[in-house]
Structure 1
């Protein structure tokens, strides 16, 4: 199967989950039209409290559908949009991409900035889920499984079934860290 968009989501409120939409419009340098996290400067409440003038490297959130399959195998039923992502993907190794990867999605281009750092709200959503999305690897390092964040480099409409193409940045590649 080719990399594709499974579903798209938006919420004008600072809610944990986002509602499914037929399409979303990405605005260059802003994020998703009508989404509470859209803006040139950071919109996530905890980050605004620290420094409201910092650039918004979290304009758009993407999660791979394969995470939901993994979580279901561990007893957690989670549907696309429920973890707050704007775009649910299939067949893209989001977590393995380097910083600066360009994702061509429908008409738009998203530049990957880093990993989403899940918070305690995930535990409130489903008890036990936080430890499932923040497991430790064999060396004891925390792995963040809840997708990637990015900025909109070119605006456009994104719909379910849109193809996704991956353009890696020039070498050397830098692994994703939390943003």
Structure 2
């Protein structure tokens, strides 16, 4: 497993169930998540991550208009296979340290992607983390598995 990758985009939304928009940098707060994001809070799915490689699989099926944030992920990554990282693993992303808490999720009823595409990769290949050490994350920052 490749233990190093990079951040492609930081994405945010003020409401749940909507497509997230890219921002130049994200402030991640300890035991909370991305400041200003609807999914942040004191629970185990504070931050969602999805690999650009997973999005490319959907694009390969002929689905157009897919870009960062479309899968409601907070951090779009590249170069690291997220769904192979075991739950409990600590990863350093930019200035933050996050712990993998969940791999995949159940897609909710009104999922925009599923409506448009008929399928969604977030349930299979997206991961969720809890912020252990807060800080700033920007596109281009490295992602590194630091403790399994």
Query: What is the TM-score with the length of structure 1 in the denominator?
Result: 0.74
Q: How does 1:22-171 map to 2 (within 5 A)?
A: 22-40=24-42, 56-77=43-64, 78-117=66-105, 118-120=107-109, 121=111, 122-124=113-115, 126-130=116-120, 133=121, 144-145=124-125, 147-169=126-148
Equivalent pairs, count: 142
Q: Which structure has the greater CA radius of gyration?
A: 1
Alignment root-mean-square deviation, CA: 1.8
* Whole-angstrom distance in 1 between the partners of 2:88 and 2:100: 5
Report which of the two has the higher share of strand: 2
Query: What is the TM-score with the length of structure 2 in the denominator?
Result: 0.89
**Structure 2 stretches lacking a partner, 5+ long:** none
Q: Could you give the per-residue CA deviations for residues 90-142 of structure 1, whole angstroms, max 9, x where no partner exists?
A: 01110101111111011001100112312331322x13224xx38xxxxxxxx
**Structure 1 stretches lacking a partner, 5+ long:** 41-55, 135-142, 170-179
Q: Which consecutive segments of 4 or more residues in structure 1 shift more than 2 A?
A: none
